[in-house]
Amino acid sequence: MSEAHTSIARKIERLRRQANEMRRRNLRMIHEAGMGHTGGDLSAADILTTLYGEVLSVNPDDPADPNRDRFIMSKGHCSGALYTALAYAGFFPLEELDTYMQPLSRLNGHPDRTKAPGVETNTGPLGHGLPVAVGAAIGGKLDRAAWRVFVLTGDGELQEGSNWEAAMTAGHRSLDNLTLIIDRNGLQQGDATANTNRLDPLADKWRAFGWAVDHVDGHDYKALLHIFGRLPFEPGKPSCIIAHTHKGRGVSFMEDRVEWHHKVPSQDELARAIAELEAALRDA
Ligand SMILES: Cc1ncc(C[n+]2csc(CCOP(=O)(O)OP(=O)(O)O)c2C)c(N)n1
Ligand SMILES: [Mg+2]
């Protein structure tokens, strides 16, 4: 095997181990808090691990570094996944994750940039992250800055009209410093997106708004590293990555199950989930 192959294999193995550990912590946090968004946290875990581990240029010692890449977690209900990624990236101690949603914690149910280091924008109400990201990307262009803007939305979230106003502006303004990642798990709260408000043909919609679009398996680290390495897909166009994912990924009895949107694991379910994740780490 060539040196380049060995180093990619090492990166992938590190990401896989870290994402597995993050999933276990995330589930414990939700269990302890008695609240959280289990399914969506687990669907975004591999994307976030890859972004914070290998893609984003951010500095945990200086979260406000003006040259940082901006990452906006538009699906802010999945704060558990964001906080675990930030803690593993060094923005605050791992032990602080145990305070998730406790009184006086910095780690609120919806991320607050005035509290948790590394949170770029307050989110939680769906449909706000992309408009803010477009504003940031316009700012970056005006400054001729090298930093980039990334935003992660849910797929159900795309039913918010504000996304499409932002999409139009991003295309019109040729914001090739902007990347949207859609966590395309096919489920929202209470039902499948297809039964609620059909999104397909999703890629064609973004293309029609002037974006360059590609697809990725949102749980395949090699594919994720490759697609993030190709940004921007086309000079002069914002990039849209449709990441095909599974809600509840990593725990068999949570995967693709709509009720796990915000179901909290019982003691027994937590133990079974942790055992499965530990086994996956051993067996691979
Ligand atoms: C404006 C707004 N309406 C409703 C909600 C309540 N809510 C929280 S998560 C969610 C479903 C989101 O589904 P999706 O975007 O597909 O996220 P994921 O599947 O990744 O969890 C809803 C309706 C909200 N947070 N904001
Ligand atoms: Mg969804």
**Domains of the chain and CATH, by start:** 3-283 (3.40.50.970)
Provide the pLDDT for residue 1. 62
Q: Is 190 in the pocket of ligand 1 (CB under 6 A)?
A: no
Q: What atom in ligand 1 is closest to the CA of residue 183?
A: 20
| C-beta of 126 in contact with ligand 1 (< 6 A) | yes
pLDDT of residue 252: 98
- What pLDDT sits at residue 5? 80
Centroid of ligand 2 to alpha carbon of 224 (angstroms):
19
**Cβ of residue 40 lying under 6 Å from some atom of ligand 1:** yes
Mutate to test the pocket of ligand 1, among 74, 153, 184, 189 (most ligand atoms within 8 A of CB): 189
Residue burial 12-35, b: 16+ Cβ < 10 Å; e: rest: beebbebbbbbbbbbbbbbbbbee
Could you give phi then psi for residue 231, rounded to 5 degrees? -80, 145
For residue 245, give the ligand 1 atom closest to its CA. 20
Ligand 1 nearest atom to the CA of residue 154, by list position: 15
CA dihedral 116, 118, 120, 123 (to 10 degrees): -40
- In the reported structure, the alpha carbon of residue 156 is separated from the centroid of ligand 1 by a whole-number distance in angstroms of 6
Whole-number pLDDT of residue 284: 73
What distance in Å separates the CA atoms of residue 154 and residue 37, rounded to the nearest whole number?
A: 12
| Ligand 1 close to Cβ of residue 37 (< 6 A) | yes
154 Cβ closer than 6 Å to some ligand 1 atom: yes
Give pLDDT, residue 164.
98
Residue 165 DSSP SS3:
helix
Q: pLDDT tens, 61-101?
A: 999 999 999 999 999 999 999 999 999 999 999 999 999 99
Low-confidence ranges of the chain (pLDDT < 70): 1
Q: Which ligand sits closest to the CA of 261?
A: 1
What spacing in Å lies between the alpha carbon of 154 and ligand 2's midpoint?
5
Atom of ligand 1 nearest to the CA of 127: 1
Contact assessment for residue 45 and residue 23, using Cβ atoms and an 8 Å cutoff: yes
